[in-house]
Amino acid sequence: MNSIDIFPWNDNFNTGIPLIDEQHRKLADLINLLASHVAFNANIPALNVIFDELAVYAVYHFDAEEKIWHEYMPEDIFETDHSKVHSSFLTEVLRLKSEENTKPTSKVIEEVLAFLTRWLAAHILESDRSMAMVVMAMQSGMSLDAAKKQAAEQM
C-alpha cells in the first residue's frame, strides 16, 4: 500500500525533548497510516485495528508526557491545564468514534482524522513546545516562574 501523509512531519514539531519528539513522530505516523488505509479503501476491521492502536498509543504518550511535566511543574496550573486538554482530547476522539452507530465507519474515521491532524499539530506547536521550553529552562537552573516567562516570550 502506498503512503498518504496528511500529517507531514518536519523539524518545527520538535520540542527539544527526545522522548516526546519520538512519541509525537509515532503519533503522526499512526495518523498517516490510518489516512492511507482510508484513502485506499481498507476494510473496516483493518481501520478499527489502526484506530485502536492510535488511541492506545495516545494514552501511553499523554501519560509519559504528563510525568515529565509533573516532575518539573507539580500542581502548577500550566501542568494541570495541560492534563485537562489531554483528557478532553480523548473524550472528543471517543465521541467522534461512537458516531459509527449513526454514520458509515469510513465517514467517522475521516472526521476523526481531520480532528486528530488539526488538534495534534496545534497542540505540539503551541502547548507542548511551550511546556518543553519551560522544562529545558528549569534543567539549566531557572526557577519555574522565570522559565515560564522566558517560554512565553519565545513563543
Q: What's the pLDDT tens digit per position in 73-129?
A: 998 999 999 999 999 998 988 888 888 888 887 788 788 889 999 999 999 999 999
Longest dimension (CA), the chain: 54
Residue with cell 478499527: 48
37 or 14, which is more confident: 14
Topology of the domain covering 15-154: Four Helix Bundle (Hemerythrin (Met), subunit A) (1.20.120)
Give pLDDT, residue 1.
57
pTM of the model: 0.90
Domain segments of the chain as ranges: 15-154
Predicted pLDDT at 73: 96
Chain mean position to CA 15: 12
- Indicate the SS3 state at residue 41: coil
Cα 8 to Cα 1, 36, 41: the distances in Å are 18, 13, 21
Whether the pLDDT of residue 3 is over 80: the answer is no
Task: Output 20 or 52, whichever has higher pLDDT.
Answer: 20
CB atoms within 10 A of CB 95: 11
